[in-house]
Amino acid sequence: MTTDFTKMRNIGISAHIDSGKTTLTERILFYTRKIHAIHEVRGKDGAGATMDSMELEKERGITIASASTNVTWKKHSINIIDTPGHVDFTVEVERALRVLDGAILVLCGTGGVQSQSITVDRQMERYKVPRIAFINKLDRMGADPEKVTEQLRDKLGHNAVMMQIPIGLEADFEGVVDLVTMKALYFDGDNGETIREEEIPENLKKYALEKRDLMLDNVSMLNDELAEAYLEDKVTDDLIYKSVREATINRQMTPVFMGAAFKNKGVQPVLDAVIKYLPDPSEVENKALDRDKDEAEVILEPDTSKPLVMLAFKLEDTRFGQLTYVRIYQGKIKKGDEITNTRTSDRVRVGRLIRMHASEMEDITEAGAGDIVALFGIDCATGDTFTQSGMNYVMTSMHVPEPVISLSLKPKDNKAAENMAKALNRFVKEDPTFRTFVDPETNESIIRGMGELHLDVYIERMRREYGVEIETGEPQVAYRESISVPAEFDYTHKKQTGGAGQYGRVVGRIEPLRDRDFDFENNVKGGNIPSEYISSCEKGFKACLDKGDLIGFPVVGVKVILNDGNSHAVDSSDTAFMHAAIGAFRQAYFKAKPVILEPVMRVAVETPSEFQGTVLGTINQRRGTIISLGEEKNFSVIEAEVPLKEMFGYSTVLRSATQGKAEFTMEFSKYAKVPESIAEELKKEYSGKDKRN
């Protein structure tokens, strides 16, 4: 176990779909001797890239679950977390960013800054992660690294600075020029494993000098020492490295590198850049909250001699049991140690300790601050903090986007239902943005997630891994009924046809009630309704609220005021007055002009400003009301209220309307009246159903 933090890096590789980051990671594994052969992501030799462990991922050619791996490069220990690039799997990227110290932002040399690059970059901003950029696929037609660097500046607001220039492009792409050493780099050997340094080709010398000057200009604005040296023409390589490192860690600049990972060109310099420019664990401030001190912030020290504080950031169910990935922020853990889960207060023993390599495991005996490892046999949830020595710390909770889409599930039979429950239990533990519950009103199983693809994958996993066949549909909207004006009642319940009779009369009114579902006020005087029957009256009225007469949905917002009544010495009873109350409610209900209410959601959309008009259109088309608009950098923030019924399928609509660049969240806001036309439709539907029953 290394305690020299300067030789540790925890990085992620984030990017848009198909920008080639999995290929890049594969090359990294190869060059750092973690794998012995290169398999293409969707290769002809039948084997997928090592990092894509799941069959499903291989089939779709996408990476679903984040995998972590440890590599060694020039005596540095680097933990790399490969992260998926789909909007639907944002939680994976978010989770990885929470525990990493730096990142490589991979961009396509032809596509440039694409939809997910924007989302991913905002996520990196949220977690203040320093990054370097790698412009990939320079061997493709139309590759233009200068244009992509411009886009980094314009679209993402980065101070992007090219640290290399390409030698040739497209089919002529041969290598890169390092603007610090001012040497040309070529990648020889079957897999580009041998780097050959040469003089810069004559035709590129002028351009290289120009770009170097630009780079120095830029960096010296951020570093006085370099600025002085630049003026005096005394710039050294080391001084540049030092200045760029400082500026990158402070997120004042993004150094840009380039290559073609598929063609084995440009990868090793990126590894060098990770070491040179991205922070080690001791250079990043990490804080926890001390529950014993009213959640006061505590700065954690990456010191193996201090008490343990570590965060469980990923769970994986394997055939050996649950595998928990952890980031150790302070202290160290050894096999056999006892640690405490500060959320549940459970004490657990550290069993098997693993260093992960994609889908292969390496057993280790201990791990310390700054490291990312995995544990077996620890039952916990994502986001749980573990400590030792009685410390009651929690790491700040991870930002988990709220699920925005839901589907109802109907298993084909009882066996399927059983397996479905097992599957859902597992998925919920692994993924905090995947939620499931049984709707108490409709008895349907509902699943919620980040997008249609997100839920699709789980449904397919249920089918493949648990053999569950299910039907899916739209969940039903939970309507409500209410009244809009006061209405009187005067109702007598009478059954006096021989034998024990029933008699009860209630007089009063119902009126609309705000802020509460139900209220009951008793103003009966002189014992006209004996006091022992008052609670039965209330029960009777309450019973009517379960199912309104309009469309059979629960009634809310009603106040009942009981003013008077009559009773019979023999025939009055609890039952009689309950029936009287029920009758009274029914009598008054339609006089009170009942209305149908629907759930209205508070929707917040963040979109690049260019799409603001389009997004507003999508909201207006959904009977939405715009509440507020705002501008932040080049992003518009729109808050609106939209009926839940209109929000089904919105994630797909929004994605198409904004090229995937917009995000939205949705939460319940209130109940509001449905428009007349919808009310009529619902009433017709209900009376049709009623007649059939």
Note the residues at the interface with other proteins (CB under 8 A): 484-485, 512, 514, 609, 612-613, 616, 620, 625-632, 637, 639, 641, 672-673
Compare residues 418 and 676 and give the one whose CB is closer to other proteins.
Answer: 676
Percentages (nearest 5) of helix, strand, coil residues in the chain: 30, 35, 35
Q: What is the rounded distance in angstroms from the CA atom of residue 546 to the CA atom of residue 313?
A: 43
Q: Minimum distance from CB of 664 to other proteins (Å)? A: 16
Q: Minimum distance from CB of 625 to other proteins (Å)? A: 5
Q: Minimum distance from CB of 35 to other proteins (Å)? A: 50
Q: How far is CA 654 from CA 59, 78, 619, in A?
A: 27, 38, 10
Round the CA-based radius of gyration of the chain to a whole number and report it. 32
Q: Minimum distance from CB of 533 to other proteins (Å)? A: 32
Compare residues 363 and 667 and give the one whose CB is closer to other proteins.
Answer: 667
Residue that has been written with the tokens 């917040």 in this structure: 604
> What is the distance, to the nearest Å, from the Cα of residue 518 to the centroid of all Cα atoms in its chain?
37
Compare residues 441 and 631 and give the one whose CB is closer to other proteins.
Answer: 631
Q: Minimum distance from CB of 397 to other proteins (Å)? A: 21
Q: Minimum distance from CB of 637 to other proteins (Å)? A: 7
Q: Minimum distance from CB of 398 to other proteins (Å)? A: 23
As given in the structure block, the two tokens for residue 176 are 């890169």
Residue type, 191: N
As given in the structure block, the two tokens for residue 489 are 């009642």
Compare residues 154 and 610 and give the one whose CB is closer to other proteins.
Answer: 610
As given in the structure block, the two tokens for residue 470 are 């299910």
Compare residues 449 and 557 and give the one whose CB is closer to other proteins.
Answer: 557
Compare residues 227 and 637 and give the one whose CB is closer to other proteins.
Answer: 637
Q: What is the rounded distance in angstroms from the CA atom of residue 370 to the CA atom of residue 280?
A: 8
Which of 103, 416, 88 has the alpha carbon at shortest distance from 274? 103
Compare residues 2 and 621 and give the one whose CB is closer to other proteins.
Answer: 621
User: 46-79 as b/e, with b when 16 or more CB fall inside 10 Å?
Assistant: eebbbbbbbebbbeeebbbbbbbbbbebeebbbb
Residue that has been written with the tokens 């790491």 in this structure: 395
| 531: region left, alpha or beta (phi > 0 left; psi from -120 to 50 alpha) | alpha
Q: Minimum distance from CB of 639 to other proteins (Å)? A: 8
Q: Minimum distance from CB of 555 to other proteins (Å)? A: 15
3-state secondary structure of 529: coil
Compare residues 182 and 626 and give the one whose CB is closer to other proteins.
Answer: 626
User: 410-438 as b/e, with b when 16 or more CB fall inside 10 Å?
Assistant: ebeeeebeebbbebbebbbbbbbbbbbee
Compare residues 245 and 509 and give the one whose CB is closer to other proteins.
Answer: 509
Residue that has been written with the tokens 């209130």 in this structure: 670
Report whether 500 contacts 575 (CB < 8 A).
no
Report whether 244 contacts 253 (CB < 8 A).
yes
Q: Minimum distance from CB of 41 to other proteins (Å)? A: 41
Compare residues 37 and 627 and give the one whose CB is closer to other proteins.
Answer: 627
